[in-house]
Structure 1
């Protein structure tokens, strides 16, 4: 198959272990290794790939972003067609007709951006809008928070362009008159036979379909056969929306657009509990809110357990459950008035509290909390893991309160816990549950609960799924919702479209068991040694990588720093999710049996920049930089390492030696021998080696202190002279000394050389990193200062290492230093809040270091800039692409440059030539100097010191 496909397709054909592993999971509980992956370059590739699969009797699974929670986007032994890579264009916007024509891999946010200039939008908006595709939305009949106003995907589909398993192509859509139906049935060949068969199927089963399909605003379980009824216009496009790729492949779609209200307001209503919030919804719906989203206090607790408290939470009124009720209008006043009426209605309930939010920034911040729910609640407030399985049941909204109370009681009977939230206005509840899947009886508990939960939802007139579809998670339960006659009709409907059962077999019809293929159940076959503690995951790397549940924020542009290498290459295995999947498979030992020696995992981690963006931006805080350090340590243990590990990894030692004769070192680096040095060091030939200054900072400090003794009584502070500042850019620590002494501090240095060990840590040389850190701690002890004296780090990567990796490597021994380490801005903000600083009314643009973004934060920097009077523009979160040794290593230059071109370099070009460029990170300043046409970036300390010198 691989050879034949590669010979005829223009797109990519990937049948290796790495790609099969990465595509063996979606966002569900299930793992099914495909035969291979095809990334079609165009629709002809889709046609050809399907024809070859049909010839070999190989099933086909269509895939968008792989965020399906029911297991619809995976298939054992199937060829997965990834439509996202090359078939994601918005082909046309017709503002007059209010329609858009899209390809199956079109990302929803891209469609929204294309429609926005016309005042239009696509109505459905699931929380994965930044990466989910229109093909996936049509396959699952996705909804989102605004379905209350604009309906489900099925309500917004005009036409579907289809490819059947036998190669037939046709377009369906729209309500059909009897004359049109007759004309379709009279068409020649397979198309006519198809329409004839569907019409006979419908006419023969009118009564059964009318009586057997529940009427719910959120029913996405089973096939939507009622769309075939005369009163529904025999709408085939609607009948195929939600069929999860089991009937046809989507080649394109025309979807309807709606007016996007120019102004929004948000009413947040607080209630004593989720039942009370749900009970209040029916009385509020007549006021026409665009949304009625429910979110309970335990979701907030899970959010706080996962990270720092978002300031937006201060806008929540008192309560234990909140409704987010959004209104829209042509003007801010109209939106406010609608929200005011809604808020007044909320106040009529004595137990309710209310807040009205009109500021767009605050609204976005509050919605971000709600959208993060899918990732946040994978970890419960107590730290336990929670899994999908019963994550989006739906009942009539007027019965939601009673259903929620009964669902909580069912959880208690099984000693299970979860965090319900969701689309209360539509009666839809999201819920992840701490099923004990790693225990001997866990699978039995899983099955028993799901069967009883299905019966409970049906007893309230509900649907097993109200948004995410069935897949493997719920298809087996469909007979509990539908009578046997309807189940039989599902099978017949599937066979009309796909008689050979080639398209996504095992979903909806003849389903695989709901407790088969569970990816969490099979324990690793071997226990691999670990060098790092994984303190947040009970010492288990298995649990650490299982943090990734596949919601795929890491593959969305604009999702923060993560994941820069994926955004540069577009390869799934280079995403945080892809790497987590590979590590999990390595620990499992099936598809990747080589353990720590795995070349597949090494290759995927090779382009990880260790930027730590995922540790902060991933909703579940997957920390791939830490996992990479562990892997490199184990992979190269007692083995030769790449040359760059010896050159860049040991750079502090080489710089210490070179600084003994900086002139000779610079001459050598600039001579012909410099090229040989790069080659021997595994450094890309296009990189410029940094110039060593004639004097290190520590040498200057000794001279400075000899002639400028500290004033008596000045408060001591310890400056950390990191390797790069000390031996490559001494102007930075010199400037810091000038500023600190100007403010009256006694600046002291450690008694000897110090290093945070980051270059060894990031290259997996953990033993050396520990030794270096212990030596540095001894140098700090000899500095002659109190144990609580603040330590100032000037480079964010070094400072973040002291704060986070030092305790990880040395345990309690490293905690005191971690606790008293501050960035330069943090120190001035905390210890000199009222100190007179110069006014610097200049335009500035700031590149935030990845480690500062992920570990340290920038709030102090923004407050300090305000004190300085800087007119500063902080570039959108994005890695500079150098990332310490990464951008210098041979084989990484193109990726490093591509990452810089995403945010950093365009941002600098857009800044005026007089704008000051601020970058506290040595890596960021180096990347700017080498790729930004000679622009020079300053550390914040340099800018302040320069102004002090100019004013003196």
Structure 2
């Protein structure tokens, strides 16, 4: 059946049809605890493709699951044996914005941030804004009735919709709108064919069950559990838009929507209120709501502890007032003064509570930093402060806001009885609590404890008049528990409602009606393929545990900003995202869908386009380290096998450069001969479109020996060890030569190691880990003890700091390593002034991920440099990546996203700063020879100019 359907779809559709193991593995997961491999994946090119795909799946009796960003926490975006319709790739346009009517027309795959950008031109915005706003789609938001922090003032998705264009499983198309008059409802009953029959059945369902619908549906702002059938009541105008929003793709497919927009406040201020504990914060909320804050978000101290355990302390935390739980209260106004007045009124109300404190934050950058802490909560709390794992399930229960404090107290007591731990936070202004818990999901023998807690938690929230879900919907995680929230007659109506829309049960079967057990189909099966080459010290020595860090919140599929994930930004293919690769590795260790273990071609193909930029290790909220996993896989995949030519040419590049340095003139003449250069590229697995850089006339070490003979070590100067990385030593020595001049003119005595050294990164990145260890240990023996160490190449410096402890257990030497900016910043040396100079900076991705750039920005301030740091992420060359045959298009596409347009647009007097050799090389080869310089060169030139 799969082959016949795939063949039919491939012949009929303009879009992409993927039924291979890799795509099925990647789409078997969303952000939930569950795993359901689909039959295949379709990425429709247009709405006609959607119609054709539905018709063919109906003909073959295969169910369908519509999917946006795949971040559903309840498991709504996965269904066993279904065809996944991924709307993101080609159906994500904002079709129109009508500022007069305050509406917008969107396609189902439209990303929320794209809608916000389009609406912001008119001072408008879409009210709901979940934390996944940079990648969640409007179709997914409608499917789950998404909310976000501003729902306290602008409501849920269902409160912000005008009409929905729908396609039913039987091919019927119709448009539904909001509340209707009695006459309009009667007219719908008279429509011909399937549409009229559908309206008659729905209106009769409501008319025959008025009392059930009025009594059996809890009335609270954050009820997203079950079908919202009370929207069919006559007093609510037979509102089919509301009735269908939150149905999790189980009733109809969305072809488009008209959404309502709201006026965005011109100015905002943020009040951060501190309370002694979370129940005190919750109890304070009802008194604050009459002041109409835009947000009332709760965040307790244990979330901050989890954040600090996961990475460095964000400076924004210094703005938190005293307390153990905080409310984020946003105020808006027509201008900054009005926003500030509203914020002060909120702060005064907070301070009237015993033990409460408040801070007012007006700076926009500080507000963004504080909100970033809150928005990263879904990722942060997947690990508790002690590093143990926590999972969704009881993820977003909601109660009436006046009962939130009591609910939290009872919930904490329930957790204690079950021996469970978690970090609660959430939308306190509407009684919604997010909570991931350390369930024993990875131990099949203890799943009974998971079920027991979920059942008791459901009973607890119902006892408080609440809903199992207040934002993310039910899916497999909670649909089984709906009979604990609703009486049997309401559950029966859910089934009847589903069958009216989808009598063949083809749309996301099991999502809400006839659900699968909440403790079935868990994604955690698998085993490590031992022995492993890397220690995975943060994950108990387990690669399986490491890849399970990925919980699917999908920061890596945000294509608009940051370092992560450059190959996804270039290809927009899920399997080339950090999330997709983590899923494939997990499936490799499971072994039933992706077979072959370390020899898996599906995993090798996905990792082939990983640039090893390390962006995920810092930007991913759960710090998935795909560069490390890639090195492990390549090490194992090619063990006792012939390696690709590029692994031997570029992975062993320091060795070949040392050989060529014996006769650089001869080497350069060969490289300058087109036929010889072409042959070398072909033998070495290098893309023919890449230029091979010439070798310097002499190595850096030979230059330094002559320099030291002419300039004896300054008496009494503080000695510092300069790390002569292989690229500075053998390929581009000018930054190292400049660094010597800068350091010695600032009062330091530069020394070099006692012999050749190499950080081993080219071997690590190509998975030659055993050889990398030998190179590292040999280099370590050449290093004198005690001296501070300055590294110039960010990738090498990052390798010394991160890879040496990981691979050879060396701790003392890496602790002494600093970048040039860090060393100068810590030393307090008097730096030359660069007033009047402007620059743009390409930050090396390894520096961003491992080393940080705080010292660089302080150097900018101390020198007076007017420097714009590009939000460009990886340059795309990434060491060996951009030179390797088969990577050129992706390498260039990554560079052309931000970096190259910015370089070409920069004025001739603007300095292009790039400390990484890869970055400088990419710029030189793609920007018509525009030359980028290292910080050391910029400072040297400034010192020389100061002499004249």
Q: Is the 8 A contact 2:331 2:339 kept in 1?
A: yes
Q: In structure 1, how many angstroms separate the alpha carbons of the residues matched to 2:139 and 2:924?
A: 43
Q: By how many angstroms is 1:882 displaced?
A: 0.3
Q: Is the 8 A contact 2:559 2:568 kept in 1?
A: no
Secondary structure, counterpart of 2:121 in structure 1: helix
Is 1:187 the counterpart of 2:197? The answer is no
Q: By how many angstroms is 1:182 displaced?
A: 1.5
Question: Partner of 2:41 in structure 1?
Answer: 37
Q: In structure 1, how many angstroms separate the alpha carbons of the residues matched to 2:602 and 2:835?
A: 51
Of 798, 809, 812, the match for 1:816: 812
Question: Partner of 1:784 in structure 2?
Answer: none
Is 1:618 the counterpart of 2:620? The answer is yes
Is 1:159 the counterpart of 2:163? The answer is yes
Question: Partner of 2:592 in structure 1?
Answer: 590
Question: Partner of 1:101 in structure 2?
Answer: 105
Q: Deviations over 1:77-133 (max 9, x none)?
A: 000000011100000101111000100000000000000010000000000000000
RMSD after superposition? 0.8
Q: Deviations over 1:634-675 (max 9, x none)?
A: 000010000000100000000001011111101111211110
Q: Deviations over 1:564-598 (max 9, x none)?
A: 00000000000000000000000111101210000
The 5 A counterparts of 1:414-493 are 414-493=418-497
The 5 A counterparts of 1:504-583 are 504-520=508-524, 522-524=525-527, 527-583=529-585
Q: In structure 1, how many angstroms separate the alpha carbons of the residues matched to 2:886 and 2:912?
A: 29
Of 365, 368, 377, the match for 1:364: 368
Question: Partner of 2:865 in structure 1?
Answer: 870
Question: Partner of 2:934 in structure 1?
Answer: 939
Is 1:837 the counterpart of 2:839? The answer is no
Q: In structure 2, how many angstroms separate the alpha carbons of the residues matched to 1:602 and 1:757?
A: 22
Q: Deviations over 1:782-834 (max 9, x none)?
A: xxxxx2210111000000000000110101xx211110000011111112x14
Q: Deviations over 1:35-87 (max 9, x none)?
A: 00000000000000010110111000000000000000001000000001110
Of 730, 734, 739, the match for 2:733: 730
**Range 633-642 or range 553-562, more displaced:** 553-562
Q: Deviations over 1:896-929 (max 9, x none)?
A: 0000011101111232121000000000000000
Q: In structure 1, how many angstroms separate the alpha carbons of the residues matched to 2:868 and 2:502?
A: 55
Secondary structure, counterpart of 1:619 in structure 2: coil
Q: Is the 8 A contact 2:529 2:597 kept in 1?
A: no
Of 479, 496, 501, the match for 1:497: 501
Q: In structure 2, how many angstroms separate the alpha carbons of the residues matched to 1:383 and 1:694?
A: 51
Q: In structure 1, how many angstroms separate the alpha carbons of the residues matched to 2:645 and 2:343?
A: 63
Secondary structure, counterpart of 2:795 in structure 1: helix
Q: Which runs of 5+ in 1 are unaligned?
A: 782-786
Question: Partner of 1:79 in structure 2?
Answer: 83
Instruction: Compute the TM-score of the two structures, normalised by the length of structure 2.
Output: 0.99
Q: In structure 1, how many angstroms separate the alpha carbons of the residues matched to 2:779 and 2:883?
A: 26
Q: In structure 1, how many angstroms separate the alpha carbons of the residues matched to 2:424 and 2:171?
A: 43
The 5 A counterparts of 1:881-896 are 881-896=876-891
Question: Partner of 1:795 in structure 2?
Answer: 793
Q: In structure 2, how many angstroms separate the alpha carbons of the residues matched to 1:252 and 1:529?
A: 51
Of 879, 902, 909, the match for 1:907: 902
Q: Is the 8 A contact 1:528 1:595 kept in 2?
A: no
Secondary structure, counterpart of 2:299 in structure 1: strand
Q: Deviations over 1:431-459 (max 9, x none)?
A: 00000112243211111000000000000
Q: In structure 2, how many angstroms separate the alpha carbons of the residues matched to 1:580 and 1:836?
A: 45
Q: In structure 2, how many angstroms separate the alpha carbons of the residues matched to 1:225 and 1:752?
A: 77
Question: Partner of 2:653 in structure 1?
Answer: 651
Q: In structure 2, how many angstroms separate the alpha carbons of the residues matched to 1:442 and 1:913?
A: 66
Secondary structure, counterpart of 1:159 in structure 2: strand
Q: Is the 8 A contact 1:881 1:887 kept in 2?
A: yes
Q: Deviations over 1:869-904 (max 9, x none)?
A: 111111014110000000000000000000001110
Q: In structure 2, how many angstroms separate the alpha carbons of the residues matched to 1:265 and 1:508?
A: 40
Q: Deviations over 1:594-634 (max 9, x none)?
A: 10000000000000000000000000000000000000000
Is 1:630 the counterpart of 2:625? The answer is no
Secondary structure, counterpart of 2:235 in structure 1: helix
Is 1:224 the counterpart of 2:219? The answer is no
**Range 355-364 or range 706-715, more displaced:** 706-715
Question: Partner of 2:11 in structure 1?
Answer: 7
Q: In structure 2, how many angstroms separate the alpha carbons of the residues matched to 1:808 and 1:894?
A: 33
Q: In structure 2, how many angstroms separate the alpha carbons of the residues matched to 1:41 and 1:439?
A: 42
Q: Deviations over 1:312-359 (max 9, x none)?
A: 000000000000011111100111111111111111112101101111
Q: By how many angstroms is 1:160 displaced?
A: 0.3
The 5 A counterparts of 1:124-139 are 124-139=128-143
Q: In structure 2, how many angstroms separate the alpha carbons of the residues matched to 1:711 and 1:286?
A: 71
Q: By how many angstroms is 1:728 displaced?
A: 1.2
Secondary structure, counterpart of 1:901 in structure 2: helix
Secondary structure, counterpart of 2:783 in structure 1: helix
Is 1:805 the counterpart of 2:800? The answer is no
Q: In structure 1, how many angstroms separate the alpha carbons of the residues matched to 2:891 and 2:872?
A: 16
Q: In structure 2, how many angstroms separate the alpha carbons of the residues matched to 1:145 and 1:248?
A: 28
Q: Is the 8 A contact 2:882 2:891 kept in 1?
A: yes
Q: Deviations over 1:758-778 (max 9, x none)?
A: 000100001111111111111
Q: By how many angstroms is 1:491 displaced?
A: 0.2
Q: Deviations over 1:358-400 (max 9, x none)?
A: 1111111100000000000000001110000001000000000
Q: Is the 8 A contact 1:722 1:755 kept in 2?
A: yes
Q: Is the 8 A contact 1:138 1:154 kept in 2?
A: yes
Secondary structure, counterpart of 2:498 in structure 1: helix
**Runs ≥4 in structure 1, deviation > 4 angstroms?**
none
Q: Is the 8 A contact 1:130 1:556 kept in 2?
A: yes
**Range 187-196 or range 473-482, more displaced:** 187-196
Instruction: Compute the TM-score of the two structures, normalised by the length of structure 1.
Output: 0.98
Secondary structure, counterpart of 1:292 in structure 2: strand
